Amino acid sequence: MKLQRKSGLRALTVGAVAVTGALVLTACGSDNNSSSDNSTPSSGSSGASSATNASSISCAKGQVLASGSTAQQNAMALWVKNYQQACSGASINYKGNGSGAGIEEFLQGSTSFAGSDSPLKPDQVTKSKSVCTGGQAIDMPMVGGPIAIMYNLPGVNNLVLDAPTVAKIFNNKITKWNDEAIKKLNPSASLPSTSIQAFHRSDDSGTTDNFTKYLIAAAGSDFPYTGGKAWQAKGGQSAQGTSGVTAQVKQTQGAIGYGELSYATASSLNTVKIATGASAPVEATTDNASKAIAAASVVGTGSDLSLKFDYKTKAEGAYPITLVTYEIACDKGNKAGTLPLVKSFLTYIAGADGQKLLGDQGYAPLPDTIATKVRATISSLS
């Protein structure tokens, strides 16, 4: 599968994506969807799409509310639009309010699934049993991609940093762009004495969780924190959501921040290349993120498919700051009124039709081995 970034991408800044329409989705290839998910139409399902519908989506009717990760919001917007154009009578409203808020709303029973850039914690799994009758919440990886370190430094277009230097910048230990540590990594660059303005997320964020997991693993004592969805390091400035961080970096000379590649691409921001110990610094691209995702191991048990990454990788071309956004749903005990639509929609986005759209949006499609497991898990939801 050829992965590339699309220079014309426009990042979404709205809080929810809900697109309605009766247009038929344009032709696309088979997505290997299992027809068993909706083989017997219920009161909430319309059964398979008609022969005049060129999409292989097996449609269902109803309304689904979901929320969570802003990292996947651009992908979710496109998926929702395509699904609703193919499936009249289906309404999917996804609110990008951050992974922490999305999980909280799901555990309160107010949404049908949640998006999170980090897998559930044990106490959250325990709590989910109160909303998943006879079951519990599980993690299903769906969207991959690099966490880009974006910066605004006129005249410097190929900035290279390593993990200790990134950690010191975001921990307020390196405060000037012409610091010796940065100069050593960029000997040919004309680095100004501009003050560094580091931006982090103000909200609980799976992106923050994954970014700090990288710093903790690869920078060691230079980032002496426990990590998590809430930012812990000293200094810096905060902004709401990935879109907020991106906007601040865009408008602030000397700024640096972290977020999904699609946002940096949409705002025409330069991104840092990471010196990992490989023969050459590694750029934040979907190809390079896919190499890291393919090497991840499944550490979840039962139906849970949470993954573990090697943040200290020195493999050639493997970008180490990579995340996967999970869709979180009940393995058993999903709401009967929304289950057919949830399964139909998740099957579409996990299939080849849904995944092949990701490369042009700055995301990395799931490796086939993982996607196959995800589709099997979706089919078993009850």
Reported as a single tens digit per residue, the pLDDT across 272-282 is: 999 999 999 99
16-144+329-380 with 147-291: one CATH topology?
Answer: yes
DSSP string, 148-185: EEEE--TT--S-EEEHHHHHHHHTTS--BTT-HHHHHH
Handedness of CA 335, 340, 345, 351 (dihedral sign): positive
Averaged over 106-115, what is the pLDDT?
Answer: 98
CATH number of 16-144+329-380: 3.40.190.10
Q: Where are the domains of the chain?
A: 16-144+329-380, 147-291
For residue range 185-234, list pLDDT tens digits in order: 999 999 999 999 999 999 988 899 999 999 999 999 999 999 999 999 98
Contact at 8 Å (CB) between 111 and 83?
A: no
The CATH superfamily holding the domain 147-291 is Periplasmic binding protein-like II (3.40.190.10)
What is the distance between the alpha carbons of residues 135 and 242, in angstroms, rounded to a whole number?
A: 33
What is the distance between the alpha carbons of residues 325 and 331, in angstroms, rounded to a whole number?
A: 18
In the predicted structure, residue 48 carries a pLDDT above the cut 90? no
Task: Find the DSSP H helices in the chain.
Answer: 73-86, 99-107, 122-128, 163-170, 180-185, 206-219, 241-251, 261-266, 286-294, 339-350, 352-355, 368-380
When comparing pLDDT for 346 and 50, which is higher? Answer: 346
For residue range 117-142, list pLDDT tens digits in order: 889 999 999 999 999 999 999 999 99
The dihedral region occupied by 200, where left means phi > 0, alpha psi between -120 and 50, and beta the remainder, is beta
Contact at 8 Å (CB) between 71 and 145?
A: yes
* Interaxial angle between packed helices 368-380 and 339-350, expressed in degrees from 0 to 180 and rounded to the nearest 10: 170
Radius of gyration over every alpha carbon of the chain, rounded to an integer in angstroms: 21
Phi, psi of 313, deg, nearest 5: -60, 145
Pairing between β-strand 113-116 and β-strand 62-68 as defined by DSSP bridges:
parallel
pLDDT at 295 (0 to 100): 83
pLDDT at 28 (0 to 100): 30
Confidence of residue 55 (pLDDT cuts 50, 70, 90): low
Q: Which of 1-15, 56-70, 196-210, 283-297 has the lowest mean pLDDT?
A: 1-15
Confidence of residue 291 (pLDDT cuts 50, 70, 90): confident
> Which residues pair with residue 64 across a beta bridge?
92
What is the distance between the alpha carbons of residues 177 and 192, in angstroms, rounded to a whole number?
A: 6
> Which residues pair with residue 325 across a beta bridge?
143
In the predicted structure, residue 15 carries a pLDDT above the cut 60? no
In the predicted structure, residue 6 carries a pLDDT above the cut 80? no
